[in-house]
Amino acid sequence: MIRFSRILTACFLILVPADTQAAPAVAPMPAPMPMPMPVPAQPHVPTSRAEISLSFAPVVARTAPAIVNVYAMRAVPQRRQMSLLDDPFFRRFFGGPSGPGFGGPSERLQRALGSGVIVDPSGLVVTNNHVIEGADEVRVSLADKREYDAEILLRDPRTDLAVLKLKGGKGSFPAAELGSSDDLQVGDIVLAIGNPFGVGQTVTQGIVSALARTQVGITDYQFFIQTDAAINPGNSGGALVDTAGRVIGINTAIFSRSGGSQGIGFAIPADMVRVVLQSALDGGKSVRRPWLGARLQRVTADIAEGLDLVRPVGSLVQSVAPGSPAARGGLKVGDLITGIAGQEADDPDAFGYRFATRPLGGDVAVAVVRQGRSLTLSIPLDAAPETIPREKRQLDNRSPLAGATVVNLSPAVAEELRTVEADKGVVVTSVAEGSPAEMTNLKVGDVLIEVNGERITRTDDLVRATASPSRVWRITLQRGGRTLTAMLPG
């Protein structure tokens, strides 16, 4: 089975006869002249290391000190078999299974191992979000064996990136230089540095196999550098380095049948890393990006044929939110977006990445085709506004929605959740494991519209509608562009 995995884990000689022509019939072939014996080349003794081999040692020496190991630990409930200790009578007198005389912790410590890169001398470390997700404690080990506790400054699940801050360090730390992933070309030599399988810092070499891989399905922003450098579990969060020693990507996933390296690895481009890092340097707890305010569709072969396009590339505008940057910039339903800032954008993922890595403020030139005419529009680079307070609520009543956390929907919330279900209402942001809401199959991003005939426009409406018990619950919500209604027992 082939799967995408986040990495927290003959020659043939062919003889071809030469074309020959028939010998002239009027004269015999002349006798062959004796061929001189080749003079063997005189052996040459190498006089320098450069004549012996090509070495990446200078690149590794420059970058490796900034590559770290990241250890993430969290306590998880310990699942136990039912025993007499679970009987209320015994628990009354002897306490729980972890009480006196009945050892055995009710929780166990779960550890995750990944890699990271120091990108600032003050001790800022970039790694993958999935390496430290849910961690109660994070510890970082440097290449010189020093270890530090780390604070999680910023997590960005949408890009699978996180920024850590080393605590207690004195002086400056070795930091790697961030390059520009846009300078890469297919065929460029790259190095992957990390800690695969926990064996210690390891360097592997390969080439850039592809740029702008968009249909990988790992993060919200589908735009990856593909490399054949060996990447394995534990390399997650480590550096993809060019031959100048600059970090041009963060290794994050592999395409594998077995879970190990098969020569297809994916890295988050450095230009996206820079956006997340800048947000952390600015003191933000989340990443603020430009908001387009339009829904885009991939151009298929059938759509291309209907639009009389030579190739099925570009992004077709399906809808434009009123007052959004797209609307203010003149984007219209039916427009075909083909590029941004002078660069091609072959599909919505490529456009989304290019748009998201632009700095806030000012505007950006977007190339579109409208009714066969090529236009350039100036789209404002504004963050999505929070037009209504979130008013976060966690439902803990006796209803099928208990265990869900909801907020009021605004453009900012919709952008964070990558939902385009509605521009207002109440949206689910999390569902507690094992809760009635999970058993009801409620999903993050669901927009709740109505409960037992009561219209839901704010989170307080939902709290009020679910406060009283009911024998039957009628719940209407929007998901995936569809309106769904369910009848559930109370």
> Which residues fall in the annotated binding site for substrate?
130, 160, 234-236
Q: Which of 5, 236, 261, 410 is catalytic?
A: 236
Catalytic member of 115, 120, 156, 160: 160
Distance CA 116, CA 165 (A): 12
**The 3-state secondary structure of 11-31, one letter per residue:** CCCCCCCCCCCCCCCCCCCCC
460 belongs to the catalytic site: no
Where does residue 362 rank: exposed (0-12), middle (13-18), buried (19+ CB within 10 A)? Answer: exposed
Give the number of other Cβ atoms within 10 Å of residue 229's Cβ: 24
Instruction: Measure the CA–CA gap between 451 and 377, rounded to whole angstroms.
Output: 43
10 Å CB burial of residue 76 (0-12, 13-18, 19+) is exposed
86 is catalytic: no
Task: Report DSSP state, residue 383.
Answer: B
Whether 115 is catalytic: no
Helix 348-356 and helix 270-281, axial crossing angle in degrees, nearest 10? 40
Task: Say which of 130, 261, 315, 349 is annotated catalytic.
Answer: 130
At 150, list the tokens.
């780390």
Using CA atoms, how far residue 123 sits from 138, 166, 177, 293, 407, in Å, is 14, 5, 13, 36, 35
State the DSSP code for 314: S
- CA distance linking residue 244 with residue 177, whole number of Å: 10
Looking at the annotation, which residues are catalytic?
A: 130, 160, 236
